[in-house]
Structure 1
Amino acid sequence: MRETPGRRPVLTDRLHHLLASVRLFDRRKPYVWDVTATVFWVAAALTDYASSGWRRTAQNLDVPDTHLVVLSLGFTLPLLWRRRHPMPVLLATAPFALVNSWSGAVLQAHLLQLVPVFSLALHRPLKQLGPAFLVVVLPLVPGALRYPLAAWDAAMGPALWGFALTALFGIAVRSRRDHLASLEERARRLAVERDQQAQLATAAERARIAREMHDIVGHNLSVITGLADGGKYAAGASPERAGQALDAIGTVSRQALADLRRLLDVLRDDDTATPAERTPQPGLTDLDQLVDSVRTAGLPVHVHTEGRATCPPGRQLTVYRVVQEALTNTLKHAGPGATADITITHGERGAVTVDVTDTGTGAPPSAPSDGRGTGGMRERTALYGGTLEAGPRPHPERGWRVRLYLPEETSQ
C-alpha cells in the first residue's frame, strides 16, 4: 500500500476510526455488548452439548442431559455481569466447575471462567488475581483425584495455561490502555500550558504595545500642546514666532504619525514590512532629536553624558523611553519657568545610570490618569533587573527627580 509521507495509510485511519467508534458506542451503551457476548457464549455452549462435542473430552459419558444443560447455562449466563462484577461472577461459576469436574463431564464451557479473569486483570487490582486463581483451580482438584489418568490433559492443563495466558493478556492490555491514557493526559496538559503561554504572551504584548503607544502619543501630544500654547501667545505680538510654532507642530505631528505607523507595521503578519520597519525602536542616538523637540515646546533642557555608550538596543530603548516620559511629565506638570537637566552615566558591560531633574513647581506626576506613566517606566526597568526612583527632590531643592539604574549585563 502506498503511503503519503507524514501520513498513515488510509486503511489504518479507517481502522482507527472504526475502533474509536466501537469504543464510544460501548461506553454509551455497555449493556448491548454484554447481552450480545452472553447470548453468543450461551449458544456456543448449548451447541457443544447438542452436537455431543463434549464427549471428546469427557471422562464420564453417562452424565444426564439435564446436568449438561444446567452446567452449560451456569457457565455462560453469569457472564452478563462479568465487566461490572468479575469476582462475583467467577465465584458464581465455581460450583458449576466443581460439579463439572466431579461428574466427569468436563464441558469445555468451564474455560469461560477465563472471561471474568480477563476483566479482573484489566479493571481490578492485580492482587485479586491470586484468589481468582484458587477459584479457577480448586474446583478441578476433586475431578483430578477421581479421574487421575486423564485429569491433566482434559482439565488441569488447559485451566492452568489458560489462566496464565489470560492474566498476562489482560495485564498487557491494561498497561497499553494506561500508557495511552497517560499520553492523552500529557497532551491535554501540554495543550493547556500552550494556551496559557499564548495568553501570557498576548497579555505581555498588549502591555508592551500600550507602553509604546503611551510613550509615543503622550510625549508628542504634550509637545504639541506646549507649542500650541506658545503659538497662541505669540500670535498677536510676533506672527513670525507663531508661524514657527505651527511649523514645529506639523513636524512633531508627522513624526508621531510615522512612529505609530512603524509600531503598527511590527504587528503585521505579512512579510511586506522592510527590516527598518520591523525595528522602529529609538535609541540613545535619538535623544538629541527628542531633546530638541522638548526645547522647541518651551522647556529648556541641559544634557550631560559621561562614559562611552555600550548599551544593546533593548537597554537603549528603555533609557530613551524613561527620559521621554520624564520630560513629558515635566512639560505637563512643572509649570512656567521650569528647566530640566539630564545626566547619563555609562558604565561597563551595558550598565547605565540616568538622572532627570526639573525645577518645576507644578503638581507631581505620581498618579497619571491612565496608570501607564511611571508604571510603564518601572515595567521597562524591571525587564533588565534595574531600579527606578521617581519623587520630589530633597529640600530645599524644588522640582521632581527620576533616577534610572540598569546594572551590568550578566553573561548567559
Structure 2
Amino acid sequence: MDDVTEQPATGARTAEPLTQYVQRVSRRVRAFDARRPLVWDLHLTGFWVTAALIDYYGGGWLTVTRAPDSPRWLVLTLSLGLSVPLLWRRTHPRTVLLALTPFALVNAWTGILLQAVMLHLLVVFHIALRRPARTLWWAAALLTATATVTAVRHPQGGPDQAIVPVLMTFAVATAIGITVRTRRDHTETLEDRARRLEIERDQQARLAAAAERARIAREMHDIIGHNLSVITGLADGGKYAAAKSPERATQALHAIATTSRQALGELRRLLDVLREEDHPDETSGLPLAPQPGLTDLDQLVGGVRAAGLPVDLTVTGTPSLSPGRQLTVYRVLQESLTNTLKHAGPGTTAHIELSYEARGAVTATVTDTGRGGPAPGPDGRGLPGMRERTALYGGTLEAGPHPAGGWRVHVSLPEEPPQ
C-alpha cells in the first residue's frame, strides 16, 4: 500500500511543536511565580516536607540507617529541620544552608542518615544562582564536613565512598545553578538591549519627525510667503491702476491668478512628495514634479517684476549643481526677494549676481536699494530657514545692511565632495 500523507483539513488546528508548548508553559509558570512567589515557595516546600514525613512514617529511613534504634522524636525533628527551612531558600539561601547544617551534622553523627539531607543540594543550587561565587567555597566546606563526620563515625568502606559522592552531587548542583544563571543573565542582557534599541528607535523616529516638520515648515514658508507677497504687490498695483488704466488692472488680476495657481501647484506637489506617491495626483490633475531649481529662476524673477519690484539678474559660469543645492540657492534667492517686496519700500530695485564655479560650488548675492527691514524675531522662519538650508551643504550665509544702502544677502556653497 502506498504511503499517504494526510493533509490537515481547512480550518483544522495545527499541532503545536513540543518545544513551543514547553516554552509557553515555562513563561506562564515564571510569570505566575513573579506575581506570587510565596505561593510557589509554599507548594515546593510542602512537597519536600511531605516527602520527608512519608520517609519517616513509612519507615523508609530504616533501610539505610545505621542507628535503627534512634528515638522517633529525633527522627521526626531531623526530617522537619532538613525540609521546612527550604521555604526561604530563594530569598536567604546562605542563612538556610547554615540553618540546615546543625540538623545535617546530628543526622551524620547519630547515623540516622535521613535522605532528606540531600535537600542541601537545592540550597546549593540557589546559592550558585543568586549569590557570589565565593559563597560556594564555604558551602562546599559545610557539606564536606557533614560527609566527613559520617565517614569517621560510621565507616563503611573507604572514606572516599562517603565524601566523593557528596562532592560530585555538589558539583552537579553548582553547575546547574551556574548554567541557569548564565542563561538568565544573557536573556536579561538581550532584553535590556532590545529595550534600549526600542527607545533609541523611538527617539530617532521623533527626531526624524521633528526634522520633517521643520523641512515642511521651511517649504511652506517659502512657497506661501513668497507667493502671497507677490500677490499682495500685484493687488496693490491693480488697485491704483483700476481708476486710470483698466487694462493694467486686468493684467494685475491675470498675474494674481497665475501666481495663485503656481502656489497651489507647488503646495500640491509638496504634499504629493510627502505622501510618497508614484503616480499623478488624480484629484488635482497635476503630475508629480521635482522641487524648483535654478532653471526656474527666470520665472521667479518675472513674477517679482510683475509684482512691481525691478530686478536685474547676472549669471556667470556653467551650472553643474545637484538638485538639492539648486533648491537651496533658489529658496535663498526667493526669500531674499520676498523680504525686499515686504520691507524695502517703494522705488526699490534689486540685483542678483549668481556665479557658478568648479565642481558644484556656487555663490549668489542679492542686493537692494531699499530701506531694509527689521531684524527677524526669535519666531521668524525666513533668515533661520535660509541658514539651515545653507548649513546642510556646509555653506555660509551673510545677511545685513549694505554699506551703500539697502540690504544684502550673500550665500556661498563649497565644492561638492567626491562621490
So what's the TM-score if we normalise by structure 2?
Answer: 0.91
1:285 is aligned to 2:292:
no
Q: Any conservation in 1 of the 2:279–2:287 contact (CA below 8 Å)?
A: no
| Aligned equivalents of 1:126, 1:326: Cα separation in 2 | 72
Q: Any conservation in 2 of the 1:57–1:154 contact (CA below 8 Å)?
A: no
| Aligned equivalents of 1:202, 1:341: Cα separation in 2 | 38
SS across alignment from 1:23: helix
| Aligned equivalents of 2:193, 2:418: Cα separation in 1 | 35
Equivalence for 2:268: 261
What aligned pairs does 1:241-320 form with structure 2 within 5 A after superposition? Answer: 241-268=248-275, 271-273=278-280, 279-320=289-330
Q: Any conservation in 1 of the 2:279–2:288 contact (CA below 8 Å)?
A: no
Equivalence for 2:395: 386
| Aligned equivalents of 2:16, 2:321: Cα separation in 1 | 56
What aligned pairs does 1:5-404 form with structure 2 within 5 A after superposition? Answer: 9=16, 12-150=19-157, 155-268=162-275, 271-273=278-280, 279-361=289-371, 363-367=372-376, 370-394=379-403, 397-404=404-411
Unpaired runs of 5+ in structure 1? Answer: none
> Which segment drifts farther, 238-247 or 149-158?
149-158
Equivalence for 2:10: none
| Aligned equivalents of 2:216, 2:298: Cα separation in 1 | 24
Cα deviations across residues 22-79 of structure 1 (Å, max 9, x unaligned)? 2122122111111111111111112223333223333333333222211111110111
Cα deviations across residues 321-361 of structure 1 (Å, max 9, x unaligned)? 00000000011111111111111111122111110000112
Which residue identity is paired with 2:393?
Y
> Which segment drifts farther, 9-18 or 170-179?
9-18
Question: Against the structure 1 CA distance between its residues 184 and 41, is the aligned structure 2 distance closer, same or farther, given a 3 Å change threshold?
Answer: same
Equivalence for 2:11: none
Cα deviations across residues 356-405 of structure 1 (Å, max 9, x unaligned)? 000112x41521685110111001011111110000001xx110000001
- Identity among equivalent positions (%) equals 59
| Aligned equivalents of 2:166, 2:57: Cα separation in 1 | 23
Which residue identity is paired with 2:106?
V
Cα deviations across residues 134-183 of structure 1 (Å, max 9, x unaligned)? 11111221221122224657642332111100011001000000000000
SS across alignment from 2:412: strand
SS across alignment from 2:314: strand
Aligned residues: 406
Deviation, structure 1 residue 271: 4.6
| Aligned equivalents of 1:179, 1:278: Cα separation in 2 | 51
| Aligned equivalents of 2:186, 2:263: Cα separation in 1 | 58
Question: Against the structure 1 CA distance between its residues 277 and 58, is the aligned structure 2 distance closer, same or farther, given a 3 Å change threshold?
Answer: farther
Question: Against the structure 1 CA distance between its residues 77 and 368, is the aligned structure 2 distance closer, same or farther, given a 3 Å change threshold?
Answer: closer
| Aligned equivalents of 1:288, 1:10: Cα separation in 2 | 70
Cα deviations across residues 208-266 of structure 1 (Å, max 9, x unaligned)? 00000000000001001111111111111111111111111110011001111111111
Deviation, structure 1 residue 11: 5.2
Q: Any conservation in 2 of the 1:75–1:110 contact (CA below 8 Å)?
A: yes
| Aligned equivalents of 1:8, 1:279: Cα separation in 2 | 54
Which residue identity is paired with 2:80?
L
Unpaired runs of 5+ in structure 2? Answer: 1-6, 8-13
| Aligned equivalents of 2:16, 2:207: Cα separation in 1 | 39
Which residue identity is paired with 1:217?
I
